[in-house]
Amino acid sequence: MYPRRQLAGDAWEDAIFEARRERARRSPPYLAQARRSLAELVAYAEPKGVALGLECRLRYHQIPLPEEMVDLLAPYPREAAGYWHDVGHAEVLHRLGLVERGAWFDLLGDRLLGSHLHDVDGLQDHRAPGRGDVDFAWLAERLPATAARTFEINQHEPDESVHNAIALLREAGVIEAA
């Protein structure tokens, strides 16, 4: 449906409704396991001074969504477990009408540890910034100065595009000037 720009109308709304219903039905045992796993990981990492960053996922059926992330992180201080924003994953979910891109920042902005920076072309993520149409100026307004920034770019992206991404992100305010 997306490539043909048919993300509207009753058929699309029905598909979203069904996806949400099915996810709500199936997710509880996986969320419970995620809680147990996170507790184990934090117990190991926190005494070593390592903060865990939980990343937003690309697929709607994957855990966690923003509200679930809030719940998963609630038992821990930010220094032990926080949110890691994957620009492409959040953007794809937004473009599909499944999760508003701002929801991650609205609910988890105070827990943000870092971000994977890359662009999105259609629904294809991991593009070099500048090879898609992510609004990096919008992103820059939401990333705190303390959040780590790392590229997560497909290895097949042209070297020149990766090199040019640095200037593009500086101009947008996502990364500081050298």
Contact 117, 127 (CB under 8 A): no
Examine residue 106 and state whether it is found in any structural domain, yes or no.
Answer: yes
What CATH number should be reported for the domain holding residue 134?
3.20.20.150
Question: DSSP state, 81?
Answer: E
Predicted TM-score (pTM) of the model is: 0.92
Residue ranges making up the domain that contains 126: 9-172
Question: Could you tell me if residue 4 is inside a domain?
Answer: no
Rounded to an integer, what distance in angstroms lies between the CA atom of residue 107 and that of residue 103? 6
Asked if residue 55 is part of any domain, the answer here is yes
Domain tally, the chain: 1
- Separation CA 38–CA 135 (nearest Å): 32
- pLDDT for residue 4: 46
As a whole number of angstroms, the distance between CA 34 and CA 162 comes to: 34
Interstrand relation of 148-151 and 112-117 (parallel, antiparallel or unpaired): parallel
Sequence-separated (6 or more) residues with CB below 8 Å from residue 93 = 56, 58, 60, 99, 101
Tell me if 87 is assigned to some domain: yes
pLDDT for the residue numbered 5: 53
Q: What is the pLDDT along the chain (178 residues), one digit of tens a residue?
A: 455 455 667 888 899 999 999 999 999 999 999 999 999 999 999 999 999 999 999 999 999 999 999 999 999 999 999 999 999 999 999 999 999 999 999 999 999 999 999 999 999 999 999 999 999 999 999 999 999 999 999 999 999 999 999 999 999 999 987 6
154 lies in some domain: yes
Token pair 């029905």 is found at 14
- Biggest CA–CA distance in the chain, Å, is 52
Terminus-to-terminus CA distance in the chain, angstroms? 43
What pLDDT shows up at residue 9?
77
- Give domain status of residue 177, yes or no: no
- Pairing type for strands 81-86 and 52-55 reads parallel
The pLDDT, as a whole number, for residue 2 is 54
What pLDDT shows up at residue 167? 96
